Amino acid sequence: MVNTFFEDTIAAPATVPGTGALTVIRVSGPDALRVAGNCLQLSSGSIESLPGYSIHYGSFVNEEGELVDEVLVSVFRAPHSYTGEDSVEISCHASAFVASEVLRLLCRAGARMASPGEFTRRAFVNGKMDLAQSEAVADVISSTSSASLRVAMNQLRGGYSSELRSIRSCLVEIASLVELELDFSEEDVEFADRTRLSSLLDEVLAKIDNLASSFRYGNAIRNGVPVAIVGAPNSGKSTLLNALLGDDRAIVSDVPGTTRDTVEETLVVDGILFRFIDTAGLRSSSDEVEKIGIERSYKKLAEASVVLALLDCTSPEEVNEALISDIVSRINPSSQNLIVLFNKVDIIAPNLNVTLLNNEVFSSDSSAVKLYISGKTGFGLDLLKKELVSSQKAQTYNSDQTVVTNLRHYEALRNASDALGRVRYSLSSGLTSDLLAEDLRDAINHLGTITGEVTSDEILGEIFGRFCIGK
């Protein structure tokens, strides 16, 4: 039997009742087999005598011995289960009443309803996975694209944790040598060669900073790459959003200033989730409500990973010049991609050579991608989608590389980096070993909070409280 900190047995639906043909009820704990056995009638024998990794047909009955449902029962014996405890999974019909009756009878037999994330929390406490892997479980469940699933699965399978353990192990080795010097402080012995120590520190810092820098990409993959559609009123922003989505999501009108607040919708393109944000038209306005919308447009522009600057081909050249100049001045080229879209080419002329429109914009960033489109007819939208994917592929990590998607992890990495920055300063300044040791321990602890080697019940409660009930 696995050593466990939990003495009670829990039960909860692992699927949503009434949404399919079957509902799965999960039971886990030291009395899981006995609790389930009190409610089950098998064709032969009892569930407590069954081997692990086996599935059996049976009848689930109430306290009067009346049939509630015919079920399949999967048996898992500790420590070879998701939680590391004896576990049973009962597959019954997806009636909400059947599921509630099964749970009622299991609780009557000695189980209690599980709290959010309690199965995964038990898996963590029982050593089946570390904290980073536990959090990846929720990410796998909520993944909305192949990219987000790939990143979550890499974390769940331990790739991220392995890299962190390697970094932490190196720091522990350095810290042990420095602290050994403290034991012999009166003899002025130096166990840690300062030159080698500085070199190792640079390597570790580079790895930590690389992980931290991946968070911008990882966060976009997890929550959707933010794409701001900005431009003047009536340039076709809402029409473009509707065309990309294939749905009339935003209101389209010939009246300037129709969009006064941001409208957000998501779309998966080539396995990447994009979060498109239709914004209020950029112009000078005396209308207080519209001015608020315009300020929000600028805010979304600053936050976006990709900015779609929409220019109206029918507008005067000087108007488009001023607009694109304003947009470019607000973009950070090191972290944002700019795609300049010349819209409404269908209105100019059917046989227009659109390359002649290149001279329409003089002040745009030379690195910006320029495309000619028609939101109304769909011309150029396939090429736009390819450019959107390319903007992310350029910074996409290999499936084997670690990408940080969790804000808690990012903050821990930054804190560890800050602590090691202090260690580097202490080394260059020739400060004493006790100061080095304190900052090294600080860095080690920050990394330990990611995998759960350093944690508290408060942190665990906050993390697992975000999970669904049956996980």
Q: Which residue has the tokens 């042990």?
A: 176
- 224 and 364 share a domain? yes
**Does the pLDDT value for residue 81 go beyond 50?**
yes
Q: 285 and 244 in one domain? A: yes
Q: Which residue among 128, 150, 168 closes a domain? A: 128
The per-residue pLDDT for range 252-296, each reduced to its tens digit, is 444 444 444 568 888 988 888 899 988 877 766 656 666 777 788
Q: What is the pLDDT of residues 99-112, one digit of tens each?
A: 999 999 999 999 99
* 232 and 206, same domain (yes or no): no
The pTM of this model reads 0.75
Q: Which residues pair with 55 in a beta bridge?
A: 74
- Average pLDDT over every residue of 308-330: 87
Same domain, 106 and 145: no
Please tell me what DSSP assigns to residue 339: E
Contact (CB, 8 A) for 74 and 67: no
State the total domains in the chain.
3
**Together in a domain, 123 and 143:** no
Q: Which of 89, 109, 128 is where one domain is finished?
A: 128
Under 8 Å CB-to-CB from 459, ≥6 apart: which residues?
449
- Say if residue 367 is in the same domain as residue 353: yes
What digits encode the pLDDT tens for the residues 357-405? 444 444 455 568 888 898 888 888 999 999 998 888 666 555 457 889 8
> Is 344 found in the same domain as 363?
yes
Q: Tell me how far the alpha carbon of residue 103 is from its chain's centroid.
A: 32
Range of the domain at 366: 219-393
> Which whole-number Å values give the CA distances from 404 to 70, 163, 411, 443, in the listed order?
44, 12, 11, 18
- Supply the pLDDT for residue 252: 47
The 10 Å CB-count burial string (b at 16+, else e) for 187-215 is: eeeeebeeeebeebbeebbebbbebbebb
The answer to whether residue 4 sits within a structural domain is no
Residue 115 and residue 143 in one domain: no
Residue 343's H or E segment, with its range, is strand 337-343
Domain boundary among 80, 100, 128: 128
| Same-domain pairing of 313 and 443 | no
Q: Name the nearest CA neighbour of 241 among 263, 257, 222, 272.
A: 263
Contacts of 45 (CB under 8 A, 6+ apart): none
